[in-house]
Structure formats: C-alpha cells, structure tokens
Amino acid sequence: MPSKLEQLRKFSVVVADTGDFTAISQYRPRDCTTNPSLILKAARQPESAELVNEVVTDCARRGERTEEMLDTLAVRFGVELTKLVPGDVSTEVDAMLSFDVTAMVTKARALIERYEKWGVDRERVLIKLAATWEGIRAAEVLEREGIRCNLTLVFSLEQAVACAQAGVFLISPFVGRITDWYKKAEGRNSYPVDDDPGVGSVRRIYTHFKSQGYATAVMGASFRSAAQVEALAGCDRLTVSPTLLSDLDQDQGMLTRRLGSAQAATPPTGPITEPAFRWSLLENQMAGEKLTEGLRVFHMDYLSLKREIQTKVQGQKVLT
C-alpha cells in the first residue's frame, strides 16, 4: 500500500511548509510556503550557506540597506524553490506592515519585480499577507493587478469570508495555533481529532466556501500532528512541515478523504464590513488573541533574520 503521503496527494495539493531545499527534494510537494523564521532556519543549513553568502556579498557591494537585503534573500530562496517545485512559492511581507495598505501593496509589487528580474513569472508566486482588515484590502488591490495572494493568520470564519469576498486567491487558516489556545483555555492536554477545535475551524471554513461557491482556495496550515493533517484530507491544499511529511511518508496505513467538494449548504454571509470584521475579532477571543500574537511573533522572526544578516555583513567587512 502506498504511504499516507502518497494517498494524500490524491485528495489535496501537498505544500511544504519550509525553505529547506533537501526536504523539498525528498518529499516532492507541489508548492511550498516560507516565512522569515523558515528562511532563517534554512539559511543556517550547509546546503544554503553559499546562496546566503552570495546574496549578502552582492547586496553589500551594491550598498543595499538591510531591509533590501532581506527582500533579496527571500526572493533568491523563492527562485531556488521554484526550481524544486512545479507550483507556487509563497513569499511573506513583514508583519509590521500589516496595518498599512499602501506599504503592503508597495512591498508586494517590489517583491514581484525582483522575481521577474530573476525570470520567475508572477504566476509562480503568492504574496503572503496577514489577514488583517488592511491586509485584505491590500490583497484586493494586488489581485486586480494579477498578483496572487496568500492570506495567512486566519483564525475565524469572518476573516476567511472577508478574504473570499475580496477575491483573494488563497487563505491559510491555522489549525495548531487554534488547538493550542483551546488546550490552554480549557486545561486540556489533547482532543480526539474530530473534536479538535483547530481541525473543526478549517472544516467549517471549507464547508462554507464550497457551499457558497467561493473561488478562494483553502489551505490548512500550522499542524501539530499527522493526525490533524489526515483529518483534513480533501482540503484544497495542506501546508505541512518536513517532520510531519516524514511521518506521513513512513505510515503505510489507509488514508480516507475527509473533505469533499459536495458539502452541506451553510447560510450565506452578507458583506463583511470593516466594523463587523473588527468586532468579530473582539467577540472571538481566540481569533483576536492569536492574530495579534501571530503578527508579533512573525515580526520577531523577521527581526531575528535581520540581525543574522547584519552580523554576516559585519563579518564580511572585518574580513575585507
């Protein structure tokens, strides 16, 4: 019997949640997603060291600021990843910009321009933005320009619907972070997978989208276990860490499709206004807290990567 990973490919698009070249080559995902913490982790690996040093050297020679170096590094990783996967590569905009529509649009355009200079068409790239109200509005502008977006840090149905109504290409509702919040709030160590609040959240979003005919793809993200991944088999896309891809690859058991295109009808949601969106994040304590926490953590990861690059630049100056 084929592994559960091979079976999963029949039901969902498998996406690697990593910038690790070796892992991507091994598990053969169709797409991959990255963020500053994943790039930082990948940049410390021997197989990526030459690329990082090349980027730092070239950027320093051109007199680029550190922020520009980070953009160049993210795109260069993305370019290499497009050589390893046949589908999409997501590149993230710094979370600190998540409340500034103009800044996000400007940054996204600049990233796409860098990709195109390296010969990568915008159709291979997803710009990853946080699903704040401003992030959704920025994505709406970019989608009209043919720049496809991946809206991340989705924790509620209201966030998801607002993204779909804006014509966003793809959303990444988080599983594990929702589960983490409820475990802490309820004093639980675990949940049966079908009672898992994170799994349940993605299932509700997926069911609602299919019932309402939204074109926006749903990509489950932030998994804590292979069981959570299996429980969402059939979701449009699933972005999975190398550790869990390995678990699925080594498991020869039977995998059953849990989500399908024929879903029960759900009541339609009217247009999500800005006041309603913001109030929903106040009413839903979990979603509001996890969105805020996620933005803070993503930006801290960005700052960690920035410090690492600054250290490399200083090291090269010492050597010269």
| Catalytically annotated residues | 128
Rounded Cα–Cα distance for residues 84 and 24 (Å): 7
Are 66 and 73 spatial neighbours (Cβ–Cβ below 8 Å)?
Answer: no
Tokens in use for 91? 């590149």
Q: Where are the beta strands (DSSP E) in the chain?
A: 13-17, 31-33, 89-92, 125-130, 149-154, 170-173, 217-220, 237-240
Tokens in use for 140? 């709406």
What sign results for the dihedral spanned by CA atoms 92, 94, 99, 104?
Answer: negative
Cβ neighbours of residue 162 closer than 8 Å, sequence gap 6 or more: 131, 133, 136, 272, 277
H or E element in which residue 12 lies: none
Are 86 and 126 spatial neighbours (Cβ–Cβ below 8 Å)?
Answer: no
Q: What is the DSSP letter of 265?
A: -
CA nearest neighbour of 210 among 152, 166, 160: 160
